[in-house]
A and B are shown apart, each in its own frame.
Chain A
Amino acid sequence: MTLRPDGRKPHETREITAEAGVIKQADGSAKFKIGNTEAVAAVYGPQELHPRHLQNPKKGILRCSYNMLPFSGDGSRVRPGFSRRSEEISHVTTKALEPVVDLTEYPNSVVDVFIELTQTDAGSRCAGICAASMALADAGITMKDMVPAISVGKLNDTLVIDLDGEEEHLDENETPDIPVAMIPRSEEITLLQLDGIVTQQELLDGMSLVKESLHEIADLQRKALKKQYEGVVQE
């Protein structure tokens, strides 16, 4: 039997499709699909922040909100509205993207990033971050780099990239899963979480393994953003 149920190699991600400019009403938008997990992100702003006591007179603030659509879970319906899980993911997503955006030119403003998951099969926060960073670039927000994100996990003592839902449940105690987001140029980490038990050495090995995939994803994100302008003719 192969290690991974869908026959992937340990370092292989699921199939990825990335597309920018998918929501006309938004100032910037993107779709990021990896396997059966699909995130759509839309950016609105910079615009004035209300209530005013939240405003920062020195720079604009970034506000990401992660949400699973009611039919996007593999189990029963996800009730719309507040959940502690989506609050936390919204927060770590904002923190994953904050280091690359420059909002000093927009005091007292907010840049809202709405991330909706249309369907999920594990890896949804990473897909959300990938879509959100593309949407920010699409909106013309000043950024020093793209932010790719993907998880590294451990299946039968082997480190593997991009766990899917089936793999997450292979281990009785939940397969260890480490979502990581990175600034490719400097290889600095902006999101790092872990559920499950791994050794110190596995963590270090996992980090070097995941970096390769993150660079590949960043290339895909950039390619998708450029694709929008391929039809532009210059005299």
Chain B
Amino acid sequence: MNNNLKDHLKKSLKQDVRVDGRKKHEHRDITIEKGAISTAEGSARLTAGDAEILAGVKAEVREPWPDTPDAGSLMVNVELLALSSPDFESGRPGIESIEPSRVIDRGFRESGALNLKNLCIKKGEAVYGLSIDIVPLNYDGNIYGLGGLAALAALQDTELPGLTENNTIDYDAEGPAFSLKRKPIPITVYKVGDLLLVDPTDEEENIADARLTITTLDDNKVCSLQKGGSAPLTDEDFEQMLNIAFNTREKLMEALDE
């Protein structure tokens, strides 16, 4: 990105004006279409401005891990498709996709949103393993927040497939009930100079000096944090970032429950 554009973005941000007309703490409007993918066990298509993201859940039957013989598993995978931006290349996933995968995963895990024991089929022998794949079709920033929300919507939409007598997946049969106990939503607040903003576009991400992802729960609770970027954060930054995150959560919850 050229320096003139960077300077322009930073200057406008000081006047609380962003390229798409938003204010610093204003999130893009979100639409969520649950069940968008017919082949997935649960899915969601999320759009926010020009950003478009798909999240899909697939279930498999596997052996449980030896240390948790009566618990199923959950895996989160973000794929930054070369189709979705000129900045991405196909090939082995880099830190740009590994970090959001792990941060979104931690939000689900630490919140206890899923009772993994409900995914047990036969103790020590067979459990359901769920995979959530999050892919941008048009990348336009904020993969942590938008991807995390799309994944949550896809899980809300999820119905487990049933089983055959030999405990293999039977897509024509009904599976056990599946529901979420909590709604963890990761919200990333970005720091540009000494200003804070939420839900950056691709361009805005390029001028950010630091970011903090706060996975929010109801009742002003937080279940995971991840700081990124090179610039340090002050106490004051941190306090403000928490406030911004919880204000943002309200808007996201509306989009999720619509």
| A interface list, Cβ under 8 A from B | 22-26, 36, 40-42, 44, 65, 67, 69-77, 80-81, 112, 114-116, 118-121
Docked complex Cα distance between A25 and B203 (Å): 12
CB of B38 within 8 A of CB of A36, answer yes
> Which residues on A sit within 8 Å (CB–CB) of B57?
71
Which of A23, A76, A114, A116 is close to B58, meaning CB atoms less than 8 Å apart?
A: A76
User: How far is B138's CA from A114's CA once the two chains are assembled, in angstroms?
Assistant: 12
Q: Using Cβ atoms and an 8 Å threshold, which residues of chain B touch A25?
A: 84-86, 138-140, 202
Compute how far the CA of A142 lies from the CA of B218 in the bound complex, rounded to whole angstroms. Answer: 55
Pick from B39, B82, B139: contact of A119, CB under 8 Å = B39
- Please state if A72 and B86 are interface contacts (CB–CB under 8 Å): no
Asked whether any CB of chain A lies closer than 8 Å to the CB of B63, the reply is no
Complex: chain A residue closest to B85, CB-CB: A25
- Residues in A with CB closer than 8 Å to B82 are 44, 65, 112, 114
Is the beta-carbon distance between A114 and B83 smaller than 8 angstroms? yes
Contact pick for B90, options A71, A114, A119, A121, CB 8 Å: A114
Q: Do residues B37 and A71 form an inter-chain contact, with CB atoms below 8 A?
A: yes
A residues in contact with B135, CB < 8 Å: 69, 116
* Majority-rule SS of B interface residues: mixed
For A81, the chain B residues whose CB sits under 8 A away are: 92
Contact assessment for B81 and A121 in the assembled complex, using a CB-CB cutoff below 8 Å: no
In the complex, how many angstroms separate the beta carbon of A5 from the nearest chain B beta carbon? 14
Known: A69-B56, A70-B79, A77-B131. A23 touches B84 (CB 8 A): yes
CA distance A196 to B255 in the complex (A): 48
User: Complex formed: what's the CA distance from A121 to B92 in Å?
Assistant: 28
Complex CA gap A230/B238 in Å reads: 49
B43, B57, B83, most chain A CB atoms within 10 A: B83
Whether the pair B90, A65 counts as a contact (CB closer than 8 A) is yes
From B37, B40, B83, give the contact of A116 (CB < 8 A): B83
- For the complex of A and B, 7 pairs with smallest distance between CB atoms: A71-B56, A114-B83, A77-B58, A70-B133, A71-B40, A42-B83, A119-B39
B138 and A71 contacting across the interface, CB-CB below 8 Å = no
Q: Which of B39, B40, B90 has the most CB of A within 10 A?
A: B39
Interface residues in B172-190 (C-beta closer than 8 Å to A): none
Contact of B83 among A23, A74, A77 (CB under 8 A): A23
Q: Which residues of B (149-206) have their CB < 8 Å from a CB of A?
A: 169, 171, 202
**Nearest-Cβ distance from residue B33 to partner chain A, whole angstroms:** 12
CB distance B131 to A23 under 8 Å?
Answer: no
Near A by CB (< 8 A), chain B positions 23-45 give 37-40, 43
**CA–CA, A14 and B92, complex, Å:** 36
If A22-B137, A25-B202, A71-B40 are given as contacts, then 18 extra A-B residue pairs at C-beta distance below 8 Å, sorted by A number, are A23-B52, A24-B50, A24-B138, A25-B86, A25-B139, A41-B83, A42-B83, A42-B84, A69-B135, A71-B37, A71-B56, A72-B39, A72-B40, A74-B171, A75-B169, A81-B92, A114-B90, A118-B137
CB neighbours of B73 from chain A (8 A):
none
Say whether A23 contacts B137, CB under 8 Å.
Answer: yes
**Complex Cα gap A97–B54 (Å):** 28
Chain A residues whose C-beta falls within 8 Å of the C-beta of B81 in the assembled complex:
67, 114, 116
Could you name 11 residue pairs across A and B whose Cβ atoms are closer than 8 Å? A23-B84, A24-B140, A26-B86, A36-B38, A69-B54, A70-B131, A71-B57, A72-B40, A77-B131, A80-B79, A80-B93
Contact of B37 among A41, A67, A119 (CB under 8 A): A119
Bound: A36/B43 CA distance, A: 15
Which residues of B lie under 8 Å from residue A70 when comparing CB positions? 56, 58, 77, 79, 131, 133
B60 within 8 A of A: yes
A114 and B81 CA atoms in complex are apart in Å by 9
Cα distance, A81 to B84, chains bound together (Å): 16
- State the Cβ distance, A92 to closest chain B Cβ, in Å: 18
Q: Give chain B residues whose Cβ lies under 8 Å from the Cβ of A119.
A: 37-40
A167 to B92, CA, bound (A): 36
Residues of chain B within 8 A (CB-CB) of A24 are 50, 138, 140
Q: How far is the CB of B210 from chain A (nearest CB, A)?
A: 25
Q: Are B39 and A71 in contact (CB under 8 A)?
A: yes
